[in-house]
Amino acid sequence: MVAILRSQKNLLIFLGMIVILAAISIAKISSAKDGEEDRVKRVTEQALVLNQSLPFYWEVMSINDINALKVKDDESFQNQAPGKPVKKMIVSYQNKPNLSHKIVFNDAQKTAWQKKANHLINQLFIENTPIYNEMLETVQNSQALSDVPSDSKIKQIVGIDGGVRDITFESVTFNDKATTAVVTGTEDVWASYAQYQDDNGYVPASPHNIMNFEVSLKKVNNKWMVDDINEDFEPGSAP
Amino acid sequence: MKKIYRIFTLIFSLAITLMLFSTNAIAYDRTAAKTYADKYALSYNSAYTKFTDDCTNYVSQALHAGGIAQKVYYVSGAPFSTSDDHYWFWNTSTKAHSYSWTVAKDLWTYLLSYSSHGDIAGTYDGDIGNNKYNPLLSGDLVAYNWGEHDLGKANHWAMEITYGTDPDSGWTGDLVDAHSTNHKHAYWTLQPYNAKAYKTIVWAVSIN
């Protein structure tokens, strides 16, 4: 009888240990998954912010590394409906550009802008994917836009700054081996532009729009990199 | 003499028939289109359904107000084939309509592929036209793709109205009216309203 009780006691201890080990394993897996999810969300935030910052020379030049790519809000947007411009220049970096004279980006500035952009893009985006190429083109488009037209009837437009005010994550899904991930959510993006008018100088307009996003990521050399970004204006928030 | 009279009558009847049924014979009335667009820029005409994404429905109404004739395929008196972009119509009694009347990419196909009413007068990709002329006249259209889907086609439309200063942004240039987010005399590329302007493709579409 004592032997049976002893063996039952041992069995209970054994089962208890199994339960504890299982709980520890689940907790570890869960914690690892949470860590992975946090990493994926952080890369997504950096990619969305970079995507919205690239067209703006002074913003790009103020970013020293990808850790600086964070959501930043400005109180000027708080009571402004999406798709309606705030009629003022909004700047998130330290020194406001001097808009008292016509801005012309020289070749050295353009080269520095593209070089810095390439450096940041290469850290977050998988090379030669359509989104990677699109990111490189964004800088070229922005430079073309700010080039001073030879005809005075055409008015120069300069991009001052841009970023992401807010991100709400809706879902993060991994494949079985956790080598790919898809992140969905909404973001509130903003930009500040100025049109040069002969009589009035630069006239600023700063819109913000809410967008739905889906970001696809892949693990490359054990690091999460962006494979694709899809963005759609939230209904009622389009220009 | 009777023979000459008959030939004359025949030619006259043919000419009248052609004038009545040829949609392109009547010149597009740009002033009427522009007046309609301005009248309903910030409101809705109750003769038509109001859609959440109303931009295409709105420019279709303005084009029609300018004299662009509907193209309806009837079977036993009922409008037929709403999804066929060869046709463009709105029935104010039944509200039956073609996709091309209300859906941006379908109007694009109708105007530029299946009718002789539209021509692309300029494409502005990414730099959205800052350094190029907008060659449009009042009553012409501006098409936009926000850089999201179907990149070769419009997913938004506006109507060219005049040149001046946009009251909401203070920017000077060609001005448009549009629905969805309603605008009256907005800067033509809509850049002051678009934080994603560098991803946007804009087309100037002339109407005839």
- To the nearest whole percent, how much of chain B has pLDDT over 70? 80
Between chains, do A144 and B126 touch, taking CB under 8 Å as contact? yes
- Report yes or no: B142 and B160 within 8 Å, Cβ to Cβ: yes
The answer to whether A235 contacts B191, with C-beta atoms less than 8 Å apart, is no
Q: What is the pLDDT of residue B150?
A: 74
pLDDT (average), residues A182-204 = 95
Distance in angstroms (rounded) separating the CA atoms of residues A116 and A137:
14
How much is the pLDDT for B131?
45
**What does A150-212 look like in DSSP terms, one character per residue?**
SSTTSPPEEEEEEEEEEEEEEEEEE-TTSSEEEEEEEEEEEEEEEEEETTTEEEEEB-EEEEE
DSSP B124-166: EESSTTTTS-----TT-EEEEE-SSS-TTS-SEEEEEEEEEE-
What is the reported pLDDT for B83? 86
CA distance A39 to A55: 26
Q: Are A47 and A27 in contact (CB under 8 A)?
A: no
Residue B13: count of CB within 10 angstroms of its CB: 10
pLDDT in tens, B4-37: 666 656 554 544 444 444 444 579 999 999 999 9
With a cut of 60, say whether residue A39 has pLDDT above it: yes
**Cβ neighbours of A159 in B, within 8 Å:** 198
* Residue B168: per-residue pLDDT: 96
The 8-class DSSP code of residue B99 comes to H
Nearest CA in chain A to B183: A239
Contacts of A200 in chain B (CB under 8 A): 170
pLDDT score recorded for residue A136: 92
Complex ipTM more than 0.90, yes or no? no
A136-161 average pLDDT score: 78
B19: closest CA of chain A, how far (Å): 41
Tokens standing for B162? 């005049």
**Residue B31 · residue B132 · CB < 8 Å:** no
Give the pLDDT of residue B8: 54
The predicted pLDDT at position B20 comes to 44
Output the average pLDDT for chain B: 85
Q: Using CB atoms, pick whichever of B128, B131, B156 lies closest to residue A154.
A: B131
Is the pLDDT at B199 greater than 70? The verdict is yes
Mean pLDDT for A31-40 is 81
Contacts of residue A208 in chain B, CB cutoff 8 Å?
A: 195
Token code pair at residue B161:
């109205």
Q: For A171-188, what is the mean pLDDT?
A: 97
Could you tell me if A71 and A165 are in contact, meaning their C-beta atoms sit under 8 angstroms apart? yes
| Helix-helix angle B55-65:B30-39, to 10 degrees | 140
Inter-chain contact A207–B192, Cβ cutoff 8 Å?
A: yes
Helix, strand or coil for residue B21? Answer: helix
Residue of B nearest to A151 (CA): B131
Give pLDDT, residue B17: 44
Instruction: Please give the Cα distance from A40 to A174 (Å, whole number).
Output: 10
**B62-120 pLDDT, tens digit each:** 999 999 999 987 666 665 678 889 999 998 888 889 999 999 999 999 999 999 899 99
Which positions in chain A touch B187 (Cβ < 8 Å)? Answer: 195
- Decide if pLDDT at A45 tops 90: yes
Nearest C-alpha in A relative to B133: A154
Q: What is the mean pLDDT of chain A?
A: 89
DSSP 8-state code for residue A97: P
Distance of alpha carbon A117 from alpha carbon B140, whole angstroms: 38
**Nearest residue, CB atoms, A238 vs list B128, B149, B156:** B156
Task: Tell me which range, A31-35, A119-123, B1-5, is most confidently predicted by mean pLDDT.
Answer: A119-123
* Interchain CB distance below 8 Å, B198 and A159: yes
pLDDT band at B152 (very low <50, low <70, confident <90, very high): confident
pLDDT value for B14: 47
| Whole-structure pTM value | 0.85
The pLDDT score that the predictor gives to residue B6 is: 67
pLDDT for the residue numbered A60: 97
Token pair listed for A101: 């004279």
How does pLDDT run across A92-134, given as a tens digit for each residue? 999 889 999 888 899 999 999 999 999 999 999 999 999 999 9
